[in-house]
Amino acid sequence: MERLKIATVWLGGCAGCHMSFLDLDEFLIDLAGKIELVYSPIADVKEYPEGVDVCLIEGAVCNEDNLELIHKIRARTKVLVSFGDCAVTANVPAMRNQLGLDNAESVLQCAYVTNAQYNPVKPKEDGIVPPLLEKVQPVHAVVHVEYFLPGCPPPADRIKALMVQVLEGKTPKLEGTQLKFG
Amino acid sequence: MAAKTLTIDGKQISAEEGASVLQAASEAGITIPTLCHLEGVYDVGACRLCLIEVKGIPKLLPACTTKVAEGMEVSTDSERLRKYRRMTLELLFAERNHVCAVCVANGHCELQTLAYSLGMDHVRYDYNFPKWGVDTTHRLFGMDHNRCILCARCVRTCWHVEGAGTKNVAGRGSKSKIISDLNQPWGHSESCTECGKCVMSCPTGALFRKGSTVGESERDRTKLEFIVTAREKKQWNA
Is the domain of B99 the same as that of B174? Answer: yes
- CB of A7 within 8 Å of a chain B CB? The answer is no
Yes or no, beta carbons of A97 and B127 under 8 Å apart: yes
The answer to whether residue A20 sits within a structural domain is yes
**Position A152 confidence tier, pLDDT thresholds 50, 70, 90:** very high
Give me the number of domains chain B comprises. 2
Yes or no, beta carbons of A181 and B100 under 8 Å apart: yes
Sheet with strand A4-10: strands edge to edge: A35-39, A4-10, A52-58, A77-83, A147-149
Distance CA B24, CA B30 (A): 9
Q: Is the dihedral of CA B154, B167, B103, B63 positive or negative?
A: positive
**Position B213 confidence tier, pLDDT thresholds 50, 70, 90:** low
Residue A31, pLDDT above cutoff 60:
yes
The answer to whether residue A70 sits within a structural domain is yes
Distance CA A152, CA A180 (A): 9
Region A145-164: mean pLDDT is 97
Q: What is the pLDDT of residues B70-82, one digit of tens each?
A: 999 999 999 999 9
- CB of B107 within 8 Å of a chain A CB? The answer is yes
Residue A128, pLDDT above cutoff 70:
yes
Shortest distance, CA A177 to any CA of chain B (angstroms): 6
- CB of B59 within 8 Å of a chain A CB? The answer is no
- CB of B236 within 8 Å of a chain A CB? The answer is no
- CB of B213 within 8 Å of a chain A CB? The answer is no
Tell me how long chain A is. 182
**Position B214 confidence tier, pLDDT thresholds 50, 70, 90:** low
Is the domain of B95 the same as that of B59? Answer: no
Domain boundary among B77, B110, B134: B77
Shortest distance, CA B114 to any CA of chain A (angstroms): 9
Shortest distance, CA B72 to any CA of chain A (angstroms): 32
Tell how strand A4-10 and strand A35-39 pair up: parallel
The answer to whether residue B231 sits within a structural domain is no
Q: How much is the ipTM here?
A: 0.93
What CATH number does residue A43 fall under?
3.40.50.700
**Position A101 confidence tier, pLDDT thresholds 50, 70, 90:** confident
Nearest-CB residue to A95 (from B99, B112, B124): B99
Give residue A102's pLDDT: 86
Is the domain of B127 the same as that of B190? Answer: yes
Q: What is the pLDDT of residues B107-136, one digit of tens each?
A: 999 999 999 999 999 999 999 999 999 999
Where b means 16+ CB within 10 Å and e means fewer, A134-150 reads ebbbbbbbbbebbbbbb
Distance CA A94, CA B166 (A): 33
The answer to whether residue B21 sits within a structural domain is yes
Domain boundary among B62, B77, B92: B77
Give me the number of domains chain A comprises. 1
Nearest-CB residue to A141 (from B100, B116, B126): B126
Residue A176, pLDDT above cutoff 80:
yes
Is the domain of B70 the same as that of B90? Answer: no
What CATH number does residue B155 fall under?
3.30.70.20
Domain that holds residue A64: 4-93+135-171
Nearest-CB residue to A82 (from B99, B122, B130): B122
Closest-CA residue to B204 (of B36, B22, B26)? B36
Region A101-125: mean pLDDT is 90
- pTM attached to this predicted model: 0.92
The answer to whether residue A154 sits within a structural domain is yes
Residue type, B180: S
Nearest-CB residue to A177 (from B97, B116, B126): B116
Is the domain of B122 the same as that of B210? Answer: yes
Is the domain of B136 the same as that of B71? Answer: no
- CB of A138 within 8 Å of a chain B CB? The answer is yes
- CB of B94 within 8 Å of a chain A CB? The answer is no
Domain that holds residue B139: 84-221
H-helix segments, chain B: 21-27, 79-95, 110-117, 153-157, 197-201, 222-233
Is the domain of B73 the same as that of B88? Answer: no
The answer to whether residue B233 sits within a structural domain is no
- CB of B112 within 8 Å of a chain A CB? The answer is yes
Q: State phi, psi for A141 to the nearest 5 degrees.
A: -80, -15
**Which residues, listed in sequence order, are joined to residue B5 by a DSSP beta bridge?**
B14
Residue A45, pLDDT above cutoff 70:
yes
Is the domain of B112 the same as that of B171? Answer: yes
Residue B91, pLDDT above cutoff 80:
yes
Region A135-151: mean pLDDT is 98
Domain boundary among B77, B105, B125: B77
Answer yes or no: are the C-beta atoms of B119 and A175 closer than 8 Å. yes
- CB of A177 within 8 Å of a chain B CB? The answer is yes
The answer to whether residue A124 sits within a structural domain is no
The answer to whether residue B229 sits within a structural domain is no
Q: State phi, psi for B178 to the nearest 5 degrees.
A: -80, 125
The full DSSP string for A63-123 is: EHHHHHHHHHHHHHEEEEEEESHHHHH-TGGGGGGGG-TTHHHHHHIIIIIIT-SSS----
Q: What is the pLDDT of residues B13-63, one digit of tens each?
A: 999 999 999 999 999 999 999 999 999 999 999 999 999 999 999 999 999
Give residue A127's pLDDT: 87
Is the domain of B90 the same as that of B67? Answer: no
Is the domain of B71 the same as that of B178? Answer: no
Give residue B207's pLDDT: 97
The answer to whether residue A117 sits within a structural domain is no
Give residue A78's pLDDT: 97
The answer to whether residue A123 sits within a structural domain is no
The answer to whether residue B213 sits within a structural domain is yes
The residue of chain B with its CA nearest to that of A147 is: B121
The answer to whether residue B236 sits within a structural domain is no
Is the domain of B31 the same as that of B121? Answer: no
The answer to whether residue B13 sits within a structural domain is yes
Residue B215, pLDDT above cutoff 60:
no
Is the domain of B91 the same as that of B204? Answer: yes
